[in-house]
Structure 1
Amino acid sequence: MKLKTRLVIAFFTIIIIPVLMAAMMVSMVCRYQIGVVEKNYGITGTTISDFTNSMQVLARVTEKPYHELKKMSEHTFEMEDATELDQFNKKLENKNAYLLVRKDGTIVYTGNDDDRVKAVIEQLPGYGDTDTTSENGIYLGGDAEALVKQVDFRYDDGKEGSAFIVSDVSNVIPEVGHFLWEILIGIVVILILTSAALIIWIYRAVMGPIGKMQTAAQNIKEGNLDFELKPEADDELGKLCQSLEEMRGRLKDSAEEKLKYDKESKELISNISHDLKTPVTTIKGYAEGIIDGVADTPEKIDRYVRTIYNKATEMNTLINELTLYSKIDTNKIPYNFNIVSANEYFNDCADDLSVELAAQNVGFGYFNYVEKNVRIIADPEQVKRVIHNIVNNSLKYMDKPKGMINLRVKDVGDFVQIELEDNGKGIAAKDLPNIFDRFYRTDASRNSSTGGSGIGLSVVKKIVEEHGGKIWATSREETGTTMYFVLRKYQEVPVNE
């Protein structure tokens, strides 16, 4: 479940559940308190609505005593009997009320000695007031804070008399107060429990993935990338876990690539150092021979100087390879793509190769099967580098007395395919898939003697791929190797008139 969905659910839950639970609780508490009130005060028919109006409850509480008082007033001698009045007043005490009796404007009986009685007496209605001579009575405000029910009668001597049931509104009935407090406390408890449950629900949903991510971040900080962070759900935090896992994977790949790069760089330095050491030693030896006078004839001096020149040329080739490797590694090989004729271009390449290979006593065959109008999109200098790197690689590992290299150019649909075949030692099947990897050497001992940095074919692959083509090889041990690569043809797009 998404975090957004959880929050929406929590929002509605914290509104709906407390309302429903509060309604249920109010109903149960009301029923309980109604039972208590009816039992304590001897009333019936009390409803939940009565609890919303304390005056109505008080009026109901003194309803029965009011009718008893009316019957007493019919016997005027009872209204003058202090004992009868005290007994009646004791009944009212249980109902949070007391009795006042007035005769001809003078209070003749007071059932309460509270300080507010004076304020009540000052506000008592007159004889015959119809608003107070009812079951509901009237409310006296100010300092009195009382509900008054009035019963009018006449004494035997003809004087006006009034009896009042006074209910103290300031304290209300205790059960109503308890009811309100219970409702308030219940609502607070419901809110606390609902909030706590939702917080725990969201906390577990959030802190579980966050805890895992914290552990993962600590591992990454310490350089430990050999772990897996699995998202628990397809939500926002799950996607964050997935992103962190992808970051960890990339960091691990980057770290492994860096280790591999460092290893390759060290290997390159070692290869270059080893390959430079041989010509430097040769140059130094022949130079000392000239200085020491060992080369004492013009012929010897010429041979020594030519050897020094050739070894210096080898060193320059190695340095150029190192420079090219640096450019490849930073994607800074300069390309100058042109549209060139396949026939003319590869004819020129074949002429150069025939001269170069003849000087090394290696046979050369050239076979061109493309039409004269076929053109390719290529950087002539870089494609020539590809061909020369492949040829030089073949020459390094040529083990036959009479070496042979064939160049074939074929039309294969949208591409021109170039094949360079030699009759050298060949490449083992286990090594063939790796020969285009940087620094890969099929035979370290043989390479040590033949030289080379181990990046020649990786340069070839990079250049061919930058031309939009691909390169591959086939080989049989002791028979020879054939390198294939393709270059994209140039095709004119017809313009609609």
Structure 2
Amino acid sequence: MGPSHSEGFRRLFLKYLFLLLAIAIPAIVFLEMCLAAFLLRPFGMTQVSGEAGRLAQFGSEHAALLVERDNRFMQDWERRVRAVPALEYLVLDPQGKPLAGNRQTFSPLPSPALLLQRLNQTILLKNDHYVNTVPLVSDTRVYGYLLLTYPASALPPQASISWAFILGLLLLEPPVVLFVVVLIFASRLGKKLNQPVEELMGAVEKIKQHDLDFTIHYDQPDVLGDLCRAVNDLRTALQSSLLREWDKEEQMRELVAALSHDLRTPVTVIQGHIEGLQRAQPAKRAERLERYLPVLETNAQRIGRLLEEILLISSLEQAEFSLQMQAVHLGDELRRKAQNYELAAAEQEIRFRYELYRVAESEEALLDFSQIERVLDNLFENALRFTPKGGEITLSCAWNVGVLSISLHDTGSGIDPQELPFIFDKYYTRSRRPKQGKKKTVGLGLYVCRVLIEKHGGQIMARNRPEGGCEVSFWLPLQ
């Protein structure tokens, strides 16, 4: 995995980590506050319960003043009551009649008998409040009763929750909250990763099964989207490669068929002439052999040239192949080739013209002329094969500013425009109409020409001339 992908995964991880912390930390703080408030609430209410007990003792010690509702004392009493939250009181005379306090809180009022029964007791009422009944006695005289009420949570048993327990809960709450938040985010992250991971795994399985007919639809702008797009690109590249391989296989089949045809024709001719010689009478065999020998030689040469091209192609495609660069006199060598071509063309009643431009014959050039000669021979043989009697073949050569340019054109039938872009391909089979009639043959020679010219650092091309015929030209740098 490349650095960019590793950085992408790191950014994705940090993104979700920061998001996790951004939610987890405020959640932990909020829950800590709520939990602390809930757990510490009983201690506050326990304080209410304790204050109620002290207030009851204070009222009992000043029973006469409380029942008589002394102004100065009552001000102090009301201040003490208000200092204790959630605490209400009611002062009753010995007959149970209210003298001071909040009567509605204690409605319905207890009877004197019930008051005597509840003396010095804390009773839980149905409204979830506790009522403490305190007798107001001074010097053996009963002045009345003091009722104090507060919420049930204010009782001392609520204080049984120790500080250690509260501290333990407060310490345990953050990891629990963090664990829950992690689970939630892991679930969300899993859902986010589920689609691309499933599509990627499905793509891998399809590739294993050599099935490239699929598309990954996940296309988000993140590292997983980049990975999915890369797999899509890989699928496209593999599909293109397979299509090229299938195309090459098809071309190879056509090449084998064309090679078989090209070999079968001379072999059939040779075999037929041999059978003719075998059937001939001994007296006529010598005469027939004299007629057959040129035919046998020509067809044997055709087979030899075809096999030589096949071996040459195999050699050219080897990494060990190298050009044998030597200094040659271009003018002399090109003139020699032109003379040979002129004789060969004359034998088939075809005119041959040779044109040489701006080449100093005394100057030497460094190149593998044996391979250039092979290129020229292939091009001339093709032109000779497709040029009718009375036609013309022209070879033009020019050497200018370190570049050799050569073109050869004929007055034959030309090349099918649809086939023109492919005539230098390895597996090309031509259907150009030769003088002997239309047939499909192998174009190995032109492929050899292209490879040899390119190994010299040059380029070769072909075109149909407007006035008719085909022109093949190439150029290569010279030293």
- Whether these two folds match at TM > 0.5 is yes
Gaps of 5+ in 1: 44-60, 75-85, 92-168, 491-497
The answer (yes or no) to whether the contact 1:426–1:478 under 8 Å persists in 2 is no
Partner of 2:142: none
Q: Secondary structure at the match of 2:284?
A: coil
State the one-letter code of the partner of 1:11: L
Residue 393 of structure 2 corresponds to residue 387 of structure 1: no
Residue 359 of structure 2 corresponds to residue 353 of structure 1: no
- Per-residue CA deviation, residues 93-123 of structure 1 (Å, 9 max, x unaligned), is xxxxxxxxxxxxxxxxxxxxxxxxxxxxxxx
Superposition deviation, residue 485 in structure 1: 0.5
Q: Of 373, 388, 391, which residue of structure 2 is paired with 1:403?
A: 391
* In structure 2, distance between residues paired with 1:462 and 1:269: 20
RMSD: 4.1
Q: Of 260, 265, 276, which residue of structure 1 is paired with 2:263?
A: 276
After TM superposition, the structure 1 = structure 2 runs for residues 478-489 of structure 1, keeping only pairs within 5 Å, are 479-489=468-478
Q: Secondary structure at the match of 2:395?
A: strand
Superposition deviation, residue 243 in structure 1: 3.6
The answer (yes or no) to whether the contact 2:458–2:477 under 8 Å persists in 1 is yes
* In structure 2, distance between residues paired with 1:232 and 1:224: 21
Partner of 1:18: 24
Partner of 2:237: 250
The answer (yes or no) to whether the contact 2:414–2:464 under 8 Å persists in 1 is yes
Once the two structures are aligned, what percentage of the paired residues are identical? 23
Partner of 2:37: 31
The answer (yes or no) to whether the contact 2:394–2:409 under 8 Å persists in 1 is yes
Partner of 2:187: 200
State the one-letter code of the partner of 2:461: W
* In structure 2, distance between residues paired with 1:229 and 1:430: 37
Partner of 1:424: 412
* In structure 1, distance between residues paired with 2:240 and 2:415: 30
Partner of 1:7: 13
In structure 2, do the counterparts of structure 1 residues 351 and 202 end up closer, same or farther at CA, with 3 Å as the change threshold?
farther
Superposition deviation, residue 339 in structure 1: 4.6
Q: Secondary structure at the match of 2:427?
A: coil
- Per-residue CA deviation, residues 17-51 of structure 1 (Å, 9 max, x unaligned), is 3232111122233334444543x3244xxxxxxxx
Partner of 1:454: 443
Superposition deviation, residue 258 in structure 1: 2.0
Residue 193 of structure 2 corresponds to residue 225 of structure 1: no
Q: Of 37, 41, 45, which residue of structure 1 is paired with 2:46?
A: 41
In structure 2, do the counterparts of structure 1 residues 202 and 338 end up closer, same or farther at CA, with 3 Å as the change threshold?
farther
Q: Of 360, 371, 374, which residue of structure 1 is paired with 2:359?
A: 371
The answer (yes or no) to whether the contact 2:269–2:299 under 8 Å persists in 1 is yes
Residue 411 of structure 2 corresponds to residue 437 of structure 1: no
In structure 2, do the counterparts of structure 1 residues 249 and 473 end up closer, same or farther at CA, with 3 Å as the change threshold?
same
The answer (yes or no) to whether the contact 2:453–2:476 under 8 Å persists in 1 is yes
State the one-letter code of the partner of 1:335: L
Gaps of 5+ in 2: 1-6, 63-117, 124-155
Q: Secondary structure at the match of 1:187?
A: helix
Partner of 1:288: 275
* In structure 1, distance between residues paired with 2:383 and 2:238: 39
Partner of 2:306: 318
**Count of residues in Structure 1 that have an aligned counterpart in Structure 2:** 392
Partner of 1:237: 224
In structure 2, do the counterparts of structure 1 residues 287 and 215 end up closer, same or farther at CA, with 3 Å as the change threshold?
same
In structure 2, do the counterparts of structure 1 residues 382 and 231 end up closer, same or farther at CA, with 3 Å as the change threshold?
farther
* In structure 1, distance between residues paired with 2:53 and 2:364: 122
Partner of 1:463: 452
State the one-letter code of the partner of 1:470: Q
Q: Secondary structure at the match of 1:472?
A: strand
In structure 2, do the counterparts of structure 1 residues 33 and 172 end up closer, same or farther at CA, with 3 Å as the change threshold?
closer
Superposition deviation, residue 318 in structure 1: 1.4
* In structure 2, distance between residues paired with 1:203 and 1:69: 66
After TM superposition, the structure 1 = structure 2 runs for residues 120-199 of structure 1, keeping only pairs within 5 Å, are 173-174=160-161, 183=170, 186-199=173-186
State the one-letter code of the partner of 1:319: L
* In structure 2, distance between residues paired with 1:340 and 1:242: 56
State the one-letter code of the partner of 2:46: Y
TM-score, normalised via structure 1 length: 0.67
TM-score, normalised via structure 2 length: 0.69
* In structure 2, distance between residues paired with 1:478 and 1:298: 49
* In structure 2, distance between residues paired with 1:379 and 1:170: 111
The answer (yes or no) to whether the contact 1:424–1:478 under 8 Å persists in 2 is no
* In structure 2, distance between residues paired with 1:431 and 1:16: 68
Superposition deviation, residue 331 in structure 1: 5.8
Partner of 2:464: 475
State the one-letter code of the partner of 1:202: L
Of 388-397 and 426-435, deviating more is: 426-435
* In structure 1, distance between residues paired with 2:191 and 2:389: 78
